[in-house]
Amino acid sequence: MDLLVQFIIDAVSVGGLYALTAIGIGLIFGVVGLVNFAYGDFVMIGAYTILLTIGFYWPVTILIAALVLIMVALAADFVAFRPVRLASPETLMIVSFALSYTIQYTYVMMFGSLARTVNFLPAMSTNLEIMGIRIAGVSILQIVATIVLTGALAAFIRFTRIGYQMRAVSENPTMARLVGVDINKVIAAAFIASALLAVTVSVLYVAQTGTMTPFLGLNLTIIGFVATVIGGMGSLVGCALGGFLVGFLTTLLQLALPADLQPFREAFVFGAVVLMLLLRPGGLIMLATARERI
Amino acid sequence: MRNDPTHSWQGIVWTFLVLGIPVAVAALLLAATGPVLSRVVTDALIKLTMVVGLYIFIGNSGIFSFGHAAFIVVGSYASAWMTIPPTFKKVILPGLPAFMQSIHLDPFTGGLVGVLLAVVLAFVIGLALMRLAGIAASIASFAFFSVIVVIYNNWTGWTKGTASLVGLPVYAGPKLALAAALIAMLLALLFQYSRYGLLLRATREDAVAARAAGVEVERMRLIAFVVSAAVVAAGGVLQGHFNGALTTTANVHLNLTFLILAMLVVGGMRSLAGAVIGVAILAFVAELLRQLERGWQIGDVTITAPSGLGQVGLGIVMLVVLISRPQGLTKGREIPMPGWLSRRERQGDANLIESTQNAR
């Protein structure tokens, strides 16, 4: 029983982190149609900003990281993505790929490729004992952050004017523009929202692992993609669901696989992804708007 | 498509010559200058083989694959198992089963085994993967690549795991690499000209309409996938026997994937000319930046650029090209045939094109 509760908490906290990453990627895909490979690098930039501003009181550190990421995301949109907005989705994807590569190696140039360690929010790595079950503070933070942010984002998209416009653009950009939606403003808003999600992931990641390399974004991006595709591209609920599913699967395999198969864990996860895609190519939640029309 | 010469066999010959001759001349001249440039040229020609292989699938089907590096891994390791001398193999790979220990094939047959293994793998995986399209196909191909790398990484007895496998006979030089690149180009052109290539490009333009017109979309994609895997694996085999060492490190293969995809996209992913020009330009830029990283001398002072500059420069070049020309440098066009070569041909073609355009 305790083992089961422990497992569920682990799975939910890992899944929460993945879900946040997936939502950040899915949000941009839904609104702009861009598969953003550089998203994980936004998280990486956030982590290094925390490293540089660790001397401040921690809310200040988080605030600075958030501001930096918002600027980075807006700059990325303005410099790299806006000029190719009308190009094919594949071209957009490669542009983001190139951006990601450039960001990664810029950080290698500045900080070297070796891992840096930092002790951020040390209070969070202590364990709490609740009814005999050991829970890391970070896990609780992860679960709370996932719930709060997903809720806030959903409310933002549902009830605000710009959220309303976002849904319009995601459904039909041409039509939205014809009825007077300022597309560039809406897309900027989407990038700001995804930057806020990214900074949350940075904070959680640094608090949990305490280390960073310029390449930390790669794994996150891949997991984010996998979750997004499993959940259904463009559907935010689907992204969250996909993130939790991947987190659940990873934790389960960690627990259930015999020791000599442990190294192959990732192979099983990715194998499951391929299988999942074959069974349901559109993802768990397939949007009517995402289906190819004749 | 009025300027696309690859619709006629004369055009195929023209395209092959107009791309192949400059590649051959440049490669042979540069390789003759000395061992340093000879290595650079060989490396670029091997990349060209891989890029042309990628082009066969991506250019014709319009589906991005991030998984082709898996065929490089599979092909090169198989070739290594076949060609490393048995006495040596016993020391390097003691975990290999007895019958594998004793095998010793000549380089050509060994390479062929590598390519065949990649072909079988591509066929089996393709049966499943080719049912997907768009982003889902790209992600699934990447997942497939990850599975292969994780397996090879942990299959220590056969691959030495994360340690690199050394001792491959080094036989790939500029001439062999040139021959491989030229054969790959010819194969790509012939595929493009064949009915399979044409049908596949129809699915690229409009999958729904092509299906409605009776094209078996999955089958066409599968054929291209297998051919493309064979060519990419051949490139991988050559690379293994050029470096003399193999690794299963995921990052190395990811960087290679990025580089060859970048070459294809920068040149223009929808024409063979694009593939060739992309390789030429990025190979040149990469070499230039590598020189900068190594340092250069002004008087008594050696100036070295910080490591990582090469990659940053490559990334920026790619971004600039993509932003200013999203379709790639060639915009997906082949090099047009001069009028006096194609006049008679053009007449028929133009009528056909006009009538189809009227029909639209």
Q: How many CA atoms lie within 13 A of B35 on its CB side?
A: 0
Lowest average pLDDT, out of A107-111, A284-288, B75-79, goes to: A284-288
Residue A39 has pLDDT above 90, yes or no: yes
Q: Which two tokens stand for residue B159?
A: 């691959």
pLDDT of B222 reads 95
- Return the pLDDT at B3: 59
Decide if pLDDT at B300 tops 60. yes
Mean pLDDT of chain A: 85
Q: Which of B283, B135, B307 is nearest to A104 (CA)?
A: B307
Q: What is the DSSP letter of B325?
A: -
Q: Chain A contacts of B207, Cβ < 8 Å?
A: 292
The per-residue pLDDT for range A199-237, each reduced to its tens digit, is: 999 998 898 888 899 988 888 888 888 888 888 776 788
For A153-184, give one letter per residue: b (16+ CB within 10 A) or e: beeebeeeebbebbebbbeebeebeeeebebe
Nearest CA to B49 out of B256, B328, B332 is that of B256
Note the pLDDT tens digit of each residue in B59-105.
999 898 989 999 999 999 999 999 988 888 888 888 888 888 888 88
Q: In chain B, whose CA is at the least distance from the CA of A77?
A: B323
Q: Which residues contact A141 (CB under 8 A, 6 or more apart)?
A: A124, A204, A207
Considering only CB atoms, A263 lies closest to which of B154, B265, B316, namely B154
Residues of A in contact with B311 (CB under 8 A): 101-102, 104-105, 108
Q: Reduce the secondary structure of B198-239 to three states and give it as a string.
A: HHHHHHHHCHHHHHHCCCCHHHHHHHHHHHHHHHHHHHHHHH
A97-111, B95-109, B282-296: which is most confident: A97-111
Cα dihedral value B321, B325, B327, B329, nearest 10: -60
Give the DSSP H/E element, type plus range, for residue A159.
helix A137-159
Provide the percentage of residues in chain A whose pLDDT is more than 90: 24
CATH code for residues A2-279: 1.10.3470
Portion of chain A with pLDDT greater than 70, in percent = 93
Q: What 3-state DSSP class applies to B331?
A: coil
Domain positions in chain A: 2-279
Banded pLDDT at B360 (limits 50, 70, 90): very low
pLDDT band of residue A246 (cuts 50, 70, 90) is confident
Q: Both tokens of residue A184?
A: 């560039």
Query: Best-predicted range by mean pLDDT among A33-37, A193-197, B329-333?
Result: A193-197
**pLDDT computed for residue B273 by the predictor:** 92
- Helix axis angle, B339-359 to B9-32, nearest 10°: 130
DSSP state of B65: -
- C-alpha–C-alpha distance, residues A163 and A168, integer Å: 9
Interface check for A196 against chain B (CB to CB < 8 A): the answer is no
**What's the rounded Cα separation, in Å, for the pair A19 and B355?**
53
> Hunting for tokens 């006495």 — which residue is that?
B87
Cα–Cα distance between B277 and B268 in angstroms, integer?
Answer: 9
| pLDDT of res. B354 | 53
Tell me which chain A residues have a C-beta less than 8 angstroms from the C-beta of B136.
229, 233, 277, 281-283
Q: Kindly report the nearest CA distance between residue B138 and chain A, in angstroms.
A: 10
Residue type, A77: D
Of B136, B153, B209, the CB nearest to A281: B136
Domain boundaries, chain B: 5-250
Which of A48-52, A81-85, A276-280, B141-145 is predicted least confidently? A276-280
Query: Residue B52's closest CA among B238, B288, B212, B304?
Result: B238
Asked if A78 reaches chain B (Cβ–Cβ under 8 Å), the answer is no
- Comparing A90-99, B59-68, B350-359, the range with the smallest average pLDDT is B350-359
- Chain B, residues 165-224, CB within 8 A of chain A, namely 207-209
CA distance, residue B315 to nearest chain A CA (Å) = 5
Chain A residues touching B154 at Cβ < 8 A: 263-264
Assign A74 to helix, strand or coil.
helix
Tokens, residue B245: 């060492």
Nearest to A229 among B135, B254, B309 (CB): B135
- Residue A146 or A266, more confident: A146
Residue A219, number of CB atoms within 10 A of its CB: 12
